[in-house]
Amino acid sequence: METNGHDPEQIPRRERKKLQDREEIIAAASELFARSGYEQTSMQMIAERAELSVGKLYLHFDGKETIYREVVEHHTALMRERLEVECGREPSPMQRIRCRMRAALSYIEENIAFARFYLAEAGGDMTTCREPAHEEMQQITEELLGEAIERGEIVREDPRLLAALIHGAVHWLTEIALKDDSLPISAVPELIDRIILTPLERRTHETRQGENGR
């Protein structure tokens, strides 16, 4: 097993134990936050779930808020890694956009309890939580759309506005799915594809046909 991208055998034993403790704290806090909420989760509960003393907890984190931020970053890093691993080799920009959307929403569905907790902590609106990771994902989509335009996969539109449209739709539909079981999260990528992505490609095809028919 590798720890944070390093070979465990190359890390001193004491450091390995610190990293292991930290990972167990993050896992315990993630589970407790999702189950009980932020306010109802205490440092004592996290320590007990991680099978550590409260004192050792404070050796790693200066408080619950710091742990919460670390948990969010942990999930963000795992999602980012999944997107890169699963979608980095897709042959076209539009296929990579579709793949990244499916992979991200698949991760949310697998961690739906924490996603619902996170939505509640955001005041019921995920779009208010524009961490750097969110901006990064939108920026990548914008770059892929720009590449798709240059390759002639889609019609020439402002890629920045298209990326904002796609991510806005994904966020709102995901919020609905998290609040209402009648819309499965797994249905969101298909909706975005059908309503936004496929029409963009279809317009390109129709435009080319029109030009060839002149």
Distance CA 196, CA 12 (A): 51
The count of structural domains within the chain is 1
Beta strands in 63-151 (DSSP E): none
User: How many whole angstroms separate alpha carbon 170 and alpha carbon 105?
Assistant: 9
- Identify whether the C-beta of residue 39 lies closer than 8 Å to the C-beta of residue 54: no
Asked if the structure places residue 139 within a domain, the reply is: yes
3-state secondary structure of 195: helix
* Contact indicator for 104, 83 with CB cutoff of 8 Å: yes
For residue 1, CA distances in Å to 7, 32, 166 come to 8, 25, 37
48 inside domain: no
Backbone dihedral angles phi then psi of residue 6, each to the nearest 5 degrees: -110, 150
Residue 203 is predicted with a pLDDT of: 73
SS3 call for 137: helix
With respect to residue 145, please indicate whether it lies within any of the assigned structural domains.
yes
CB atoms within 10 A of CB 157: 13
**pLDDT tens for each residue of the chain, 214 residues long:** 445 555 555 667 778 888 899 999 999 999 999 999 999 999 999 999 999 999 999 999 999 999 999 999 999 999 999 999 999 899 999 999 999 999 999 999 999 999 999 888 865 444 444 467 788 999 999 999 999 999 999 988 999 999 999 999 999 999 999 998 888 999 999 999 999 999 999 876 655 555 554 5
Is residue 24 situated within a structural domain? no
pTM of the entire structure? 0.82
Range of the domain at 165: 92-212
Assigned domain for 28 exists:
no
> Is residue 35 one of the residues assigned to a domain?
no
Q: Is residue 189 part of a domain?
A: yes
Amino acid 134: pLDDT: 81
Q: Residue 126's pLDDT is what?
A: 45
